[in-house]
Amino acid sequence: MLSNRRQFLYSLGVLTTGTLLANSLPLLAFAQEEDGPFQLPPLPYDYDALEPYIDAETMKFHHDKHHAAYTKNLNAAINKYPELKNQDAESLLRNLDQLPADIRVTVQNNGGGYVNHQMFWEIMTPNSSKIPQGSIATAIEQQFNGFENFQTEFNQTGLSKFGSGWVWLVLNSNKQLQIISTSNQDSPLMMGMYPIMGNDVWEHAYYLKYRNNRGEYLSQWWNVVNWEEVNNRFEKAITG
């Protein structure tokens, strides 16, 4: 009886192990297929660093799930055309019409999501100065007749965006600051504009904390804006 029991457990162990290995093979193959030129950038701060304005749970899902998915899908598209692997994501978006037709929409959506979120993490900080610094402060004052007017217009543009998308401060083709919104993960780069700063108004960016109150999210977001990085992006765009 004991011998039969041991044989049964041994057989069960072999079967279970074999099943697990068999089930894991497609996952390993899938992971290898998703390798590509683009890597998910790490957050420049801890998940909870932006609390109480953006909660840790939202940051985990937003970065580890959403941004990771955009990265994976972008790599899958570019892997179909090895000659595109030397292009950075911004160049792909600027030259979207030149991409092969079968990956164009995928790159638009996922390349946009990849680039938009990379910027998003960088223009936030737990040590915000709360108000603009440097050249961008002067430019906002001149273009919008004051920082408060700029905030009001930016918030209203984000609040009035129907569905999912972004609100942006861009440098347009005339080298002027302009507030715009885009749908889904569309990037201003696709319109010949350079994104100086932007706020994600997809529900996944705020719903766990603010529920359906997008206006409150937009108002509180100013507490974590990294004005030093925003100024760096502005000066880079002006000179380049």
pLDDT of amino acid 35 = 87
Q: Which residues contact 129 (CB under 8 A, 6 or more apart)?
A: 227, 228
- CATH H-level, domain 50-240: superfamily: Iron/manganese superoxide dismutase, C-terminal domain (3.55.40.20)
pLDDT of amino acid 240 = 81
Burial of residue 48 (number of CB atoms within 10 Å: 0-12, 13-18, 19+)? middle
Q: What is the pTM of this model?
A: 0.85
Residue 29 has pLDDT above 70, yes or no: no
Q: DSSP character for 190? A: G
pLDDT of amino acid 153 = 98
pLDDT of amino acid 8 = 39
d(CA 48, CA 63): 12
Residue 21 has pLDDT above 70, yes or no: no
Residue 30 — pLDDT band, cuts 50, 70, 90?
very low
Residue 22 has pLDDT above 90, yes or no: no
How do the domains of the chain map onto residue ranges?
A: 50-240
d(CA 187, CA 180): 11
d(CA 92, CA 230): 23
CB–CB of 211/230 below 8 Å?
Answer: no
Could you read off the pLDDT of 59-113 as tens digits, one per residue?
999 999 999 999 999 999 999 999 999 999 999 999 999 999 999 999 999 999 9
